[in-house]
Amino acid sequence: MIDPAALQQIQSIIQNGKRFLLTTHVNADGDGIGSEIALSHHLRDLGKEVHIFNHNPTPENLEFLDPRNDLQLFEAQKHGELVREMDAVFILDISDWERLRDLGKLLRALPVAKVCIDHHPAEDRMGEVDIILPEASSTGEIVYDLLIKLDARLQGKMVEALYTAVLTDTGSFRFSNTNSRAHEIAADLIARGVKPHHIYQEVYERQPANKMRLLGQILNNLNFSKDGRLVWFTVTQAMLRATGTQPRDTEGFADFPRGIDGVELCLMFLETEKGQTKISFRSKGRIVINGLANRFGGGGHPYASGALVDGPVQEVVPRVVAEAKEFFA
């Protein structure tokens, strides 16, 4: 439930503002982008000027949500002055300044109204209004409820965007964060015109061949321990170059090994260009792993978390795997 006081604050911010900025986390996914698109359409329906700036390009399988190319790649020198002219900022699907990169540094010091809407557990406040609901299936679920309370006209790309947000963050309604509200929202959006088969095809059936080649390499080189209950794999820069892929192409890869019978915990290690290691933690539901992510400076949901660690994969993998094995002692 959205707090009535927070709702009233948001209504006031929208009513009094003319220029709005929307953004989400690095390597934006269906939940972040879907939430941006839906909220931006409502603000434009009210005659507001809206700018959407993200750190990374929009993934190809989500471009169908943005036929007008409203999603822009943030460049500090090019967009800095424009950002400073905003009346308010909506930060979606993230409650961590660091994961907004350069834009986050600018926004944090900006004396404008900030609204943070997220379903990830948060330690600190980010804005004048923070709607942080970890019990929600997705940020899209929260944005849907907000738009309903704001009497928004849910139609067209708005409903497709909201459906995509809920669909992708629940893993097509199969992850442990799937709740009854997610299904209720999906049913309502379908009644409003969403074609589920169309969204599924756009999101999941437009994968480039080189991405599938990378996945093939990964699945052919899985590492198992603890009688097959723990599995991990590494994606190196060399593998990305050999297959002509980008780090964003690994989105969703951490979930594949969970489909193996007996696997309870999966770790994906991604080598970055800067020599750091990005870790994705996935659990089938028996083991709570956000605490493990916290040990390495990360966090997230109980069964799906992440972390970014300084150091090469050769050093990071043994350390993380050793601590993961403790869950099976």
Residue keyed to tokens 């943030």: 74
- What are 150-160's pLDDT values in tens digits? 999 999 999 99
Residue 164: predicted pLDDT: 98
User: Which residues are paired to 269 by β-bridges?
Assistant: 234, 279
The arithmetic mean of pLDDT across residues 263-288, rounded, is: 96
Strand 71-73's sheet: what is its strand order? Answer: 71-73, 49-54, 19-24, 88-92, 113-118, 129-132
138, 31 Cβ separation under 8 angstroms = yes
**What distance lies between CA 109 and its chain's CA centroid?**
24
What is the rounded average pLDDT of the residues 32-40? 98
- Domains, the chain, ordered by start: 4-204 (3.90.1640.10), 213-328 (3.10.310.30)
Q: Measured between alpha carbons, how far is residue 281 from residues 223, 226, 270, 271, 302 in Å?
A: 15, 16, 12, 15, 10
Summarize pLDDT for 8-23 with one digit per residue, the tens.
Answer: 999 999 999 999 999 9
Task: Give the pLDDT band of residue 267 (cuts 50, 70, 90).
Answer: very high
pLDDT (tens digit, 9 = 90+) per residue, 50-80?
A: 999 999 999 989 999 999 999 999 999 999 9
